[in-house]
Chain A
């Protein structure tokens, strides 16, 4: 199997910092943000983005949460797949700007499931999507609002995001 590193740790850091600035620019002073990470790695990316946003704009009101989409998928889910915790801020998401955070955007089905899941928790004023990697091959009319890196791939390739919180190091690898 051929592997090549497409993002090193410092490049992931830089990409997230840029996304944080883009988010603040996009919400135009509406600082009532809820960052919802999609497990597993989206959760940690959301936490990092939250810290970066706070560092850039200490006055912004940013809440974090996680949104597990396992039970909302429209494809057959592996029975062994573990269900992760969903943690919605106590103040809820109704009327607020929700930013979904995931590591890799591929077919778009995970995001569609996340949008369905959001419906069960309230009606945000806006929902935006931040991803570290957009590898293309969309199967649904879904596009990201904030992208760390656009990575053209073939369907036979695999993109693996590693994060220090669970994988011990920050890295994005593409393998054939």
Chain B
């Protein structure tokens, strides 16, 4: 695997191998020396055209734990703000010797283009592109679910409910693809205006009542952030109205089974799609997701930057 721009590039076996490696690499965070020499001498550029806290820091920590040199570039502080194209930026990074480019971009498909056009020999890792995909988020979600399911392989039979703004969510798309690949049953649930037509073809059932979906007792509920920055119109009457129908509020939290897990990719709009009580509940895996993000990104960077050699 030289690039990771979409979950579609993974097979069931390669996804499980990545999760297995991530599970082992998670141990590095518990060691006194939190560093492995695997990517010594490699340069990883985090090229972020959108704001990010956890994903960028997570990729940075992951690369540094593998002893790579890390350069962080944000659009505001780069020549992109002067009008430089993605192609020119990529070629500049190529000339500067980047071995991997971790790209977050508002345009869906930008990482795929970068990987396919030959502007750079660097490995391309998609850190979120528009409303398209966020493969490493799906991998860390799968790793988190696999840990609580106490499975050593896939997620066969696990019932996952994904709730909220599906329309704008790259996390939802990557998760539907990966959860299906790993044998989970996925239900997506949201207001009609925020559930795109045809999304069921990715491998999910659709419903439009959160309360009814909860009555089906999912094993995990993944709440999605309302992405106001991508909304160019009005998709719901008011935050209060949205919260009434779609928030994991105290009332809905009280109806969850004791072993139902709560996930959220972050950042959370507390009080909108998830209540503070739910976010901080003992069933919430939000912080474990963040911790697993480092391990998953270590596995992905190692996989992309390792070329076959003698075993």
Residues of A within 8 A of B (CB): 68, 70-73, 75-86, 116, 120-121
Q: Which residue of B lies closest to A106 (CB)?
A: B310
Q: How far does the alpha carbon of A73 sit from the alpha carbon of B38 in the complex, in Å? A: 7
**In the assembled complex, which residues on chain A have CB atoms less than 8 Å from the CB atom of B1?**
79
B275-311 residues at the A interface, CB under 8 angstroms: 299, 302-304, 306-311
Query: Closest CB of chain A to B285's CB: distance in Å?
Result: 23
Q: How far does the alpha carbon of A76 sit from the alpha carbon of B310 in the complex, in Å? A: 7
Residues of B within 8 A of A (CB): 1, 14, 17, 20-21, 24-25, 27, 31-33, 35-38, 66, 299, 302-304, 306-311
Query: Closest CB of chain A to B152's CB: distance in Å?
Result: 12
On whether A76 and B24 interact (CB within 8 A), knowing A71-B38, A71-B302, the answer reads no
Cβ contact within 8 Å between A120 and B33: yes
Q: How far does the alpha carbon of A71 sit from the alpha carbon of B25 in the complex, in Å? A: 10
**In the assembled complex, which residues on chain A have CB atoms less than 8 Å from the CB atom of B21?**
82-83
Cβ contact within 8 Å between B25 and A83: yes
Q: Which residue of A lies closest to B310 (CB)?
A: A75
Q: Which residue of B lies closest to A122 (CB)?
A: B32
On whether A77 and B306 interact (CB within 8 A), knowing A71-B37, A72-B36, the answer reads yes
The 7 closest A-B pairs by CB, nearest first: A76-B309, A71-B38, A71-B36, A120-B33, A83-B24, A79-B306, A83-B21
Cβ contact within 8 Å between A82 and B17: yes
Cβ contact within 8 Å between A76 and B306: yes
On whether A80 and B17 interact (CB within 8 A), knowing A71-B302, A75-B309, the answer reads yes
Cβ contact within 8 Å between A71 and B308: no
Cβ contact within 8 Å between B24 and A79: no
On whether A83 and B20 interact (CB within 8 A), knowing A116-B37, A120-B33, the answer reads yes
What are 9 A-B contacts with C-beta separation under 8 Å? A71-B25, A71-B36, A71-B37, A76-B310, A77-B309, A82-B17, A82-B20, A82-B21, A83-B25
Query: Closest CB of chain B to A87's CB: distance in Å?
Result: 9
Query: Closest CB of chain A to B94's CB: distance in Å?
Result: 21
19 extra interchain contacts, Cβ-Cβ under 8 A, other than A72-B37, A120-B32? A71-B36, A75-B310, A76-B307, A76-B310, A78-B308, A78-B309, A78-B311, A79-B1, A79-B304, A79-B308, A80-B308, A83-B20, A83-B24, A83-B25, A83-B299, A85-B27, A120-B33, A121-B31, A121-B33
Q: How far does the alpha carbon of A46 sit from the alpha carbon of B307 in the complex, in Å? A: 30
Query: Closest CB of chain A to B139's CB: distance in Å?
Result: 15
